[in-house]
Structure 1
Amino acid sequence: MATDTTRTRLSAVAVKTETVEGQDAFAGTPALTDFIGAEATWSLPQQTVEDPTLTGSFDPNAPIPTGIRPQITIRMPLRGSGSATVAPEWGRLMRACRFEEVQQATSVGAPTAATAGTATTATLATPFAATAQAYRGMPTVLTGNPTGPQLTTMLDYTAGRVATFPMTFSPVLSTATLAQIPANWLYRVTDDETQFRPVTIYVYRGGQRWRLVGCKGSMSLEMVAGNPGFITFTMRGQLLGAYETVALPTGWNTISRPQAPIWANGLSRLDRVVARCARYTYNANVTMYDPENPEAPEGYDAPEITAANSSVTIDPFSSTTNSASRFGKFRVGTSMPFAGLMGSTVGNRIAVTNPSLRISAYDDANRGEMGVDNLTLVPDVPGQGMFLSVF
């Protein structure tokens, strides 16, 4: 048996937020807490320029190699850390993909009674803050009325403490409704570039190492009914080293992680109606550009986020009532929310919230010989399209 071949099973990935963009955050040695439970694939495309020199042949000169622009794809289960006070492993990558990280370190409400309510809103009281959107996208636990505990998310929150939910309650919410926001980590789309946090990525595989710095990118997530969710990051950065002979660090595979929750006995609401779907996906579709710099090692600086065009796809079963309602809103461009929840263990529950979506494509399909509405939706409130929380 050959002894110099690469064993892909002997692989590990480490990720750490950089203090200074483009500088190796590991300084060569990741700590055990820097390793994440993920798989990674990469490409190292060499940019080239044609050499126009005449050759005296029908064959041209070989192209001139220029800078390498590496790309790495990291895929991992959508799970929490197992503790509401510890951020999920994938959180450090979210911050490099146009998302802001917000920690709600303690729960809000004891729970606390609402002062008023409707079928979709509750007016909350102190200790809930009188700050608009302070809790938008965060999970909420309702008891009393409904009997509960009912886990949901918050679509909107006003300075008057009016919280809007992605469900229609009957009987309507009232002063008998008790609300609490559990401790959670929230990741929300932001246009504030000061919140972007590039990362250093090390990949080990079979006795070799690859190093990338100044990495930013885009993310996508997928939730499948009765299955765990997955989150995927497509990252670009500057190549610091490739195919280096470095042994896999010891102990990286001793880290204990909770089992990923499955999307069952949870929440799936599109336009406040139960969405009996097989799959939900969100794609951030972040665009980046490599600023040219003749003094940089490859002739360009670390990539910069320049645009985004996020989208959602979902495939609920069609029905005589829901399909007609969806199509009517598709025709006139009416907005609708989506909310999804999975998991039951504190520190390993996931909430996905899209407060305002507009259907951009409506296609007919079938699943198991039953009609399906294949929908593509786009956020219609810039900078507020996606909220992902762990609690």
Structure 2
Amino acid sequence: MVEQYLQQDQVMLCGIEAAKGTEEALTPAANAIKVGGPPAWRPGFDIDNAEDEVTGSLDPGDPTVLAGNASMTFTVRAKGSGAAGTAPEGGVLHRATGFAESVLGASENGTAQAGAANTITLAVAASAVDDFYKGMPIFLTAGPGSGEDNVITAYDGTTKVATVARPWTVQPTLATDYDIPANVIYRPGSADLETVTAFLYQNANEAAVNSVLRKLVGAMGNATFDIGPRQIPQWSYTLTGLFPESPSDVARPAGVVYDAVNAPPFVNADAWLGGVPFRLNTLSFDLGNTIAQPDDPAATFGRDVASITRRLTTGSFTSYRRLIANRNPIADLIAGTKQTLVLKWGQVAGNRISVLFPAITYTGADEQGVEGYSGEQIPFRATGADDGLWLCYH
């Protein structure tokens, strides 16, 4: 019987490289990522077809490989690790697409020193580093405002004042207790970006038959994101890097371990625009990473490791129409008014997610029907140097 390979039966491993362009030793127990799509590995070669070469016939000479690289495409459902303060299995992909990772391993709680409409002054023992808590959730646990939660959009390490995404319903006071849960933050960076090694195993329909292993080394990538009510928010990735070797036959990977949680749907969720709740229908964005591999004559296939050379994060959202007095996208577009955009979903600690755009600028406005209702589709651009988009898993 001829062996058969099914698209569904694949395993992907991915890990940060200690040295860029040097293959990392990956294991199914430590580096597995649950992906969809289905995933695909594609080689890319520059070919000289010798089309201008004369051969004494109407046919040119033989083609020659000049240079090559490889890419992988796949999707990943947005989810946490199941343990607050522990990076999700997909965190390595955020790092491969230009994000820096920071971990708050234990919750920080205290009693506020003061509060105002959009701020809370944290305890004296809070961090002295500016924006240390930016992008993190904050829960009021006792005293005035107890039961409210918010997302921190700015933090002054000297004054301990944290600015939040939406006004408090009840302002916190020096009698208010708060909690900032253990979490993992991803924010865009421009220096010290990391590359990854990725393995993609194509398994046979019989356990005794070898798998086919395809590799990618020195890779970075771009991602898009889609979210909407009654859906599982999802990332779509393209990683590009070195072509390290041709696919090979290897033993089927054993002992594959994934995060033991399911991705939370976007229900019982929050969407805030300019500090005001709004009924989101759909939202998508593109990190807008430009990936390049400089020439390297010393390399086997003539290319160096991948780099992100530019980032232009754009997106659009669709929402039900509001009164102009409540939302005026045309006026905001013309004036260049910047808005804070926040999304929060997930109910279980370790599998809660928030997305913060500190300052988006509208780049258009269009009418869009939403299941028979009148709506608006508003494209936007994320602004700010290394500040356009913050992701938090908590």
Give TM-score, length-normalised by structure 2.
Answer: 0.91
Counterpart of 1:387?
390
User: Which of the residues 259, 265, 268 maps onto 1:265?
Assistant: 268
Aligned CA distance change for structure 1 residues 59 and 322 (closer, same or farther; 3 Å): farther
Aligned residue for 1:44, secondary structure, equals strand
| Amino acid in the other structure paired with 1:36 | I
Kindly indicate whether residue 351 of structure 2 is the aligned counterpart of residue 348 of structure 1: yes
Aligned residue for 1:73, secondary structure, equals strand
Counterpart of 1:105?
105
> What is the alpha-carbon distance in structure 1 between the residues aligned to residue 325 and residue 82 of structure 2?
37
Kindly indicate whether residue 20 of structure 2 is the aligned counterpart of residue 21 of structure 1: yes
Check the 8 A contact 2:289/2:310 in 1, yes or no.
yes
Deviating more after overlay: 337-346 vs 275-284: 275-284
Counterpart of 1:32?
29
> What is the alpha-carbon distance in structure 1 between the residues aligned to residue 127 and residue 250 of structure 2?
51
Counting only pairs closer than 5 Å after superposition, residues 96-245 of structure 1 correspond to structure 2 as 96-109=96-109, 112-144=110-142, 147-159=145-157, 160-192=159-191, 194=192, 196-206=193-203, 207-245=211-249
User: Which of the residues 306, 316, 320 maps onto 2:319?
Assistant: 316
| Amino acid in the other structure paired with 1:20 | A
| Alpha-carbon shift at residue 339 of structure 1 (Å) | 0.8
> What is the alpha-carbon distance in structure 2 between the residues aligned to residue 328 and residue 56 of structure 1?
70
Check the 8 A contact 2:218/2:242 in 1, yes or no.
yes
Aligned CA distance change for structure 1 residues 205 and 118 (closer, same or farther; 3 Å): same
| Amino acid in the other structure paired with 2:221 | G
> What is the alpha-carbon distance in structure 1 between the residues aligned to residue 91 and residue 258 of structure 2?
17
| Alpha-carbon shift at residue 280 of structure 1 (Å) | 2.0
| Alpha-carbon shift at residue 312 of structure 1 (Å) | 2.5
| Amino acid in the other structure paired with 2:212 | Q
> What is the alpha-carbon distance in structure 2 between the residues aligned to residue 129 and residue 255 of structure 1?
34
| Alpha-carbon shift at residue 56 of structure 1 (Å) | 5.6
> What is the alpha-carbon distance in structure 1 between the residues aligned to residue 278 and residue 112 of structure 2?
28
Over aligned residue pairs, what C-alpha RMSD do you find? 2.0
| Alpha-carbon shift at residue 176 of structure 1 (Å) | 4.2
**Once the two structures are superposed, what CA deviation does each residue of 1:51-92 show, in whole Å capped at 9, x if it has no partner?**
221356666556432222211113111111111142101111
> What is the alpha-carbon distance in structure 1 between the residues aligned to residue 327 and residue 11 of structure 2?
49
| Alpha-carbon shift at residue 277 of structure 1 (Å) | 1.3
| Amino acid in the other structure paired with 1:259 | N
> What is the alpha-carbon distance in structure 1 between the residues aligned to residue 126 and residue 150 of structure 2?
17
Kindly indicate whether residue 79 of structure 2 is the aligned counterpart of residue 79 of structure 1: yes
Kindly indicate whether residue 304 of structure 2 is the aligned counterpart of residue 293 of structure 1: no
> What is the alpha-carbon distance in structure 2 between the residues aligned to residue 223 and residue 308 of structure 1?
21
| Alpha-carbon shift at residue 361 of structure 1 (Å) | 1.8
Counterpart of 2:306?
303
> What is the alpha-carbon distance in structure 2 between the residues aligned to residue 326 and residue 121 of structure 1?
26
| Alpha-carbon shift at residue 323 of structure 1 (Å) | 6.2
| Alpha-carbon shift at residue 22 of structure 1 (Å) | 1.2
Counterpart of 1:334?
337
Aligned CA distance change for structure 1 residues 171 and 32 (closer, same or farther; 3 Å): closer
Unaligned runs of 5+ in 2: 204-210
Counterpart of 2:208?
none
Kindly indicate whether residue 368 of structure 2 is the aligned counterpart of residue 370 of structure 1: no
| Amino acid in the other structure paired with 1:117 | G
| Alpha-carbon shift at residue 177 of structure 1 (Å) | 3.6
Aligned residue for 2:357, secondary structure, equals strand
> What is the alpha-carbon distance in structure 2 between the residues aligned to residue 91 and residue 384 of structure 1?
18
Aligned CA distance change for structure 1 residues 322 and 142 (closer, same or farther; 3 Å): farther
| Alpha-carbon shift at residue 336 of structure 1 (Å) | 0.5
> What is the alpha-carbon distance in structure 1 between the residues aligned to residue 264 and residue 224 of structure 2?
18
- Sequence identity percentage: 24
Unaligned runs of 5+ in 1: none
Give TM-score, length-normalised by structure 1.
Answer: 0.92
The number of residue pairs the alignment matches comes to 383
> What is the alpha-carbon distance in structure 2 between the residues aligned to residue 371 and residue 147 of structure 1?
36
